[in-house]
Chain A
């Protein structure tokens, strides 16, 4: 199967649930297992939350989500045009958070890495952040 979808949403926390459900609905056409589907929805939730909290620091902005299915490979790209990440390596460390006062767990990237097969983080200060996640769907 070859298919894609593109979604653009304002950076509002109410859209976190919408984004993961929309991606879940799109991926459902590949007949994934329940675990694959929940892994994907969790990773999307983390990516979109990062864009809202960190990319836009809870200010207004647009989050773009592009999903591609190419045979058994799923690719999800989440992009924001916010502040960018100063030190990607540090941001990816488990338990590291740039916002320790806000009870963030610092687990976002770790969850994305664990629940997907691979994770690429590209970022430029004052331009934004693009994360690309891939997962091979075993059920197909």
Chain B
């Protein structure tokens, strides 16, 4: 798994590539928490365009980050999840509390 970070006016966009499971979710959690702590991030966008697999360990990380961002008064958004990844997201019920979109324009 690889994570590329981009910033746009208080929003952190994490572009994730590869597979999110118990093994890789620890790194994802550490990287995101470091950014949320050190930079004054309000909103977090998780770009799942290049995520090819995710299991329930990924759900644990998303819910954990959602709680942090929500406590800071920001929003967490998931974009471009598809196939197996979208199926796991749907099953978890997380799509009911998060914003999930196919595409996103940061300036909107």
Contacts and interface: CB of A to CB of B under 8 A. Distances in A.
B22 A103 contact: no
Interface residues of B, number: 20
B63 A105 contact: yes
Given A104-B60, A105-B60, A111 B19 contact: no
B92 interface: yes
A65 B23 CA distance: 18
A53 B55 CA distance: 14
A103 B63 contact: yes
Contact of B21 (A45, A105, A107): A45
A3 interface: no
A39 B85 CA distance: 10
A35 B87 CA distance: 10
Contacts of B53: 20, 38, 41-42, 45
Interface string B45-61: 00000000101110111
B79 interface: no
Given A38-B84, A103-B60, A111 B55 contact: yes
A13 interface: yes
Most buried by B among A14, A42, A108: A42
Interface in A49-68: 49, 52-53
A80 interface: no
A49 B55 contact: yes
Contact of A107 (B23, B56, B84, B87): B56
Interface string A19-31: 0100000000000
Contact of A17 (B21, B87, B92): B21
If over half of A's interface residues share one DSSP class (helix, strand or loop), that class is named, otherwise mixed; here it is helix
Given A35-B84, A103-B29, 19 more contacts: A16-B21, A17-B19, A39-B84, A41-B84, A42-B53, A45-B21, A45-B55, A46-B56, A49-B57, A52-B22, A53-B22, A102-B60, A103-B60, A103-B64, A104-B60, A105-B56, A106-B56, A107-B59, A110-B91
Interface of A: 13-14, 16-17, 20, 34-35, 38-39, 41-42, 45-46, 49, 52-53, 102-108, 110-111, 114
9 contacts: A13-B21, A13-B22, A13-B23, A38-B53, A49-B57, A104-B57, A105-B63, A111-B88, A114-B91
